[in-house]
Structures are given as C-alpha cells and as structure tokens.
Amino acid sequence: MVIKLNPGAVITTPGNSVENKTGGWRSLRPVWDKKKCTQCMICWTYCPDISIPQKDGKRLETDFDFCKGCGICKQVCPFHAIIMEKEKK
Amino acid sequence: MKKVTEASQAVAEAVRLCRPGVIPVYPITPQTHIPERIADFVNNGEFDCELIYMESEHSAISAAIGSSAGGARTYTATASQGLALMHEILHIVSGMRLPVVMNVANRALSAPINIWNDHQDSISARDTGWIQLYVESSQEALDTTIMAFRIAEDKNVMLPIMVCLDGFTLSHVYEPIDIPDQKKVDNFLPKFTPLFKLDPKAPVTMGPVGFPDTFMDFKKQQQDAFDASLNIIKKTNSGFKKDFERSYGDGLVEGYMLDDADYVFVGMGTICGTARVVIDTMRKKGNKVGMLKLKCFRPFPEKEIIDSLSKAKAVAVFDRAVSFGHKGPVFSEIASAFCQAGKRPVLHSFIAGLGGRDVTLDHIEGAFSRIKKEKLPVSEWLM
C-alpha cells in the first residue's frame, strides 16, 4: 500500500484502515471448535478488533488479517470452544 | 491611529485586527491584560470572535487544536507555568501542522515562585516545534503578532508561532503606539485557508498513529518547513515594511551600530532597549560597540548571525535563561553556529535578569569593558 504523507499526517481517505493488515502482530492464534460452539455470540460481542465476522446471527471463522491473538474470545467462551495455540508462521 | 498604551493592549489590538475566529484562553500573570482587553472588544461588539474561557492552559491549547483543525484562525496567550502545563500539547499542535498564534508574556518558572520576567518559560519550550519570535517594544509586539499569522499560515510553513514579549517589563509598560487600519491589515493578511479541515461533508482523519515506517518522514517535513520559514519570515518583514512603513532588521535579526563594531552585545527582548542606550553613550566616547538583536530564535538564523558577527573582535551574549549544568541557551547556539565558521570572535556568556532582577546600564557597560580586556572566553552570572 502506498501512503501519501500529507503535512500533519492528515489522512484524506478515512476508513482506509481495512487496507492495513495488522494480523501479523499475532503470536497466539485462536482455534475455534465448531462442534463445541453453541453460537451464543459472546466472543463476537467481546472481540475488541471486530475480527470475528458474523452472518445471520452466527459467527464465522476468525478474520486472521486483523486478529492480534489477544485471547479475549478464549477467555469469555463459556463452552471452551476456543483454545489459543502458538502461531507457527 | 496613535495611542499611548501597554504592550498587552497593543497585542490585543493586533489580535482584533487579525480577526481570529476562535480564542480559547486561560488567565495567568503577566499575560492577563491581553485576554482582558480582547474580552472588552468582544463584549463591546467591536470584535466578532468565539472567546472561550477554559479551565486550564492544557485545555486552552487543546481547544486551539480543535478550532484550528476545524479551519478557524486560532489565537491564544499564556506565560510561565501556563506554558509549562501546555507542554505536551505544544508538540501536537506543531506535529499536526496547525498555524496557531500564541503570545507568551515571558515569566520565570517556579520554584521559588516568581511572577517576574525572564525567558526560562519559552526557552524550555524550544524543541516543541513552534517558531519563536521575541520583541523589544510595544509597537514591535503589535506588528510581530500581525506578521505571525501571515508567516504561520503560509502554505510552505504551516507551523505554530509563539510571539514572546517580556512580562511586566514590556507587557505592562505604556508606550506610544501606532494602531494600523483594519483595511490595511486585511490587505496584508489574507483569509485563512487551511490545508485540510474537519468537515463532516468531506471527512478526513487527523492525529492518526505514525508507525516507524512514516513517523520520521513527518518529522522531516516539520524540519523542512522550519528551513523554508527563514525566507518567509524575511519576506513577511519586508512586505510589512512596504504596507506599514515599519520593519525589524531582516525579520530574523536586527543590527544596531553593528557595521564597524569591534565589541557586540547579543540579546533578545526588552534588554536590547537598554543596550541601545549603553551603546549610544559609549559611542559618544569613541567606543566601537554595537548590538545584534536576535528577534527569531526558532528557526535559528545561523547564517545571518555568522554574517553579522564574524567581523567583531568579541561578543557578549546575554541570556535571560539558563540550561542548568551548561550555559546560556542563546550563547550555546551561537557558539555552535560559529563552530564551522572560518573567522570567529571570542564569545562570552552572561546570564542576567532572572526572575525579574534588573539588568542595568552598568551591567551592559561592564560586560563591554570586560570583553574588551579578556583574552579567554568568560562565562558569568551578573548578580
């Protein structure tokens, strides 16, 4: 991505943070067990980075372009459907 | 219009003539007469402006960011502890390239608490990315405040400016001044057109994170703007001379009896007025003495200083501030400027007038006699 360096660091194309993939910061990776998941959506509510997408009231696979591996989803899941594994990349 | 008034009121007149849209301000001695007079103007319907009384200087300068980012010409004023409280936000104003203009009524910093004049407050804000201009008289305070808006808002500059005037020694001293016509000021100072502004119809992001891959580039842009500002300050000074028939040296430095001077006084602010008197008296007795008034401290006019002082035998730099553990800040920078110069005078450092202590004719005459005799550099506090 080419960034235009306006004086004062003004960004004239707001909302462009989707182009800046930040998932590379992750050292732990949430692994989602679909069988244990009851679709209670607590993880979706708590994810601070909107990295758990949803469709028709059901969560989908974590968006690894932005998930930073904070582990909050694992912490709040009442059904132990998420475990954190060491990122291998 | 001619009027006898104090520098604070002269500055308030200048601010009114420059028509800022927003003035967030918090009172502190000895700056108070500036916002008081501005409040009079607003209250009397002579000045249409959003004057906001803030709860602290930290808030005042933060509000200045908001209004300048929103596209309004923005002004504020402070002094001493107030400027110190603003410190973290000063960096943000300059980093966001917002051309806010602020008067600083120079006052000592606590402790012990002291309300009188020295330059420790603005000198301590040296590296915040603000242009710093120092003035000697009420007229210069008025004129420089008008010039400051034009310099700050120049598209090649876009940097905030502190116009520093000595607390009490100037801020509360009555002098005859000339207040320019509104029409002439409107002609000299075009309407403020920001590079970017906060506008819900055309949204932009201001103040984002700067990662290591971009942060340094933005800092380099600030430095380049400072380099460019040297010439723009000079051009604004000569433009002012054309329109108002007054100017101050080349806008950066001003010489007095300098051309054939062997011994030169260097200082900033009202102390230069005292030095003029000493120089006049000593000249009558045949002493080749002169003065270099440093009007612009940031950007530091290195070339102009070297050109002005290289013919002298010795120079006495007077600082009304100190870098503890080292020397006078102005002295250090002049010494650093001469480091690479071929021919240089002997440079002497004098610390004087801290916390409102009088700097007398005798102090300056004594310094001249001292540097005439001494072969080696002197570093002295004039107690």
Per the CB < 8 Å rule, is A8 touching B158? yes
State the total domains in chain A: 1
The CATH number of whichever domain residue A71 belongs to comes to 3.30.70.20
Of A3, A8, A11, Cβ closest to residue B95: A8
- pLDDT of A88 reads 82
pLDDT for A28 equals 97
- Say if A60 falls within a structural domain: yes
Q: Measured between CB atoms, which of B98, B206, B217 is closest to A5? A: B217
* Residue of B95, B158, B218 lying closest to A5 (CB–CB): B218
CA distance A25 to A27: 7
CB neighbour list of residue B109: distance below 8 Å, 6 or more residues apart: B80, B81, B84, B120, B121, B124
CB atoms within 10 A of CB A76: 14
Q: Do domains B2-244 and B254-381 have the same CATH topology?
A: yes
Q: What distance in Å separates the CA atoms of residue B9 and residue B172, rounded to the nearest whole number?
A: 9
Number of H helices, E strands in chain B: 13, 15
Question: How are strands ordered across the β-sheet holding B131-134?
Answer: B75-78, B101-106, B161-166, B131-134, B296-298
On whether residue A81 sits in a domain, the answer given is: yes
Query: Cα(B252)–Cα(B132) distance, rounded to whole angstroms?
Result: 10
Residues of A in CB contact (< 8 Å) with B are 3, 5-12, 14
Our CA-based measurement puts residue B206 at a distance from the nearest CA of chain A, in whole angstroms, of 5
pTM (2 decimals)?
0.92
For B:78-107, CB contacts with A below 8 A are 95-98
Residue A2 lies in a domain: no
| Residue B46 touches partner A, C-beta closer than 8 Å | no
The C-alpha atoms of residue B35 and residue B23 are separated, in whole angstroms, by 9
Q: Which of A1, A4, A10, A16 to mutate to test the interface with B (most CBs of B within 10 A)?
A: A10
Residue type, B26: Y
Give me the residue from A3, A5, A7 closest to B195, CB to CB: A7
User: DSSP for B210-262?
Assistant: --TTTHHHHHHHHHHHHHHHHHHHHHHHHHHHHHHS---TTSSEEEES-TT-S
Q: Compare CB distances from A11 to B95, B98, B204 and report the shortest one's residue.
A: B204
Going from N- to C-terminal start, the domains of chain B cover 2-244, 254-381
Assess contact for A75 and A26: CB atoms under 8 A.
no
- The sign one gets for the Cα dihedral B370, B376, B377, B383 is negative
Which run of H or E residues covers position B65?
helix B57-69
Query: pLDDT for A48-79, tens place per residue?
Result: 999 999 999 999 999 999 999 999 999 999 99
Paired with B379 in beta bridges are B349
Residues of B in contact with A14 (CB under 8 A): 203-205
Task: Answer whether A3 sits within 8 Å of B203, measured CB to CB.
Answer: no
Q: Which among A3, A5, A6 is the nearest to B196, CB-wise?
A: A6
Residue A3 lies in a domain: no
Chain B stretch 206-225, residues whose beta carbon is closer than 8 A to a beta carbon of chain A: 206-208, 210, 214, 217-218, 221, 225
Contacts of A44 (CB under 8 A, 6+ apart): A52, A54, A59
**pLDDT (tens digit, 0 to 9) for every residue of chain B, 383 residues total?**
999 999 999 999 999 999 999 999 999 999 999 999 999 999 999 999 999 999 999 999 999 999 999 999 999 999 999 999 999 999 999 999 999 999 999 999 999 999 999 999 999 999 999 999 999 999 999 999 999 999 999 999 999 999 999 999 999 999 999 999 999 999 999 999 999 999 999 999 999 999 899 999 999 999 999 999 999 999 999 999 999 999 999 999 999 999 999 999 999 999 999 999 999 999 999 999 999 999 999 999 999 999 999 999 999 999 999 999 999 999 999 999 999 888 899 999 999 999 999 999 999 999 999 999 999 999 999 99
Assigned CATH for B254-381? 3.40.50.920
Interatomic CA distance for residues B298 and B316, integer angstroms: 20
Give which of B157, B205, B211 to mutate to test A binding, by max A Cβ within 10 Å.
B205
How many CB pairs below 8 A link A and B?
44
- Give the pLDDT confidence of A12-21 residue by residue, as tens digits: 988 888 888 9
Domain over B2-244 is classified CATH 3.40.50.970 = yes
Question: How many angstroms separate the CA atoms of B123 and B135, rounded?
Answer: 14
* SS3 call for B318: strand
Shortest Cα distance, chain A CAs vs residue B204, angstroms: 5
Look up the ipTM and state it.
0.88
Identify the domain containing residue A76 by its residue range. 21-86
DSSP code of B96? T
Distance CA B11, CA B18 (A): 11
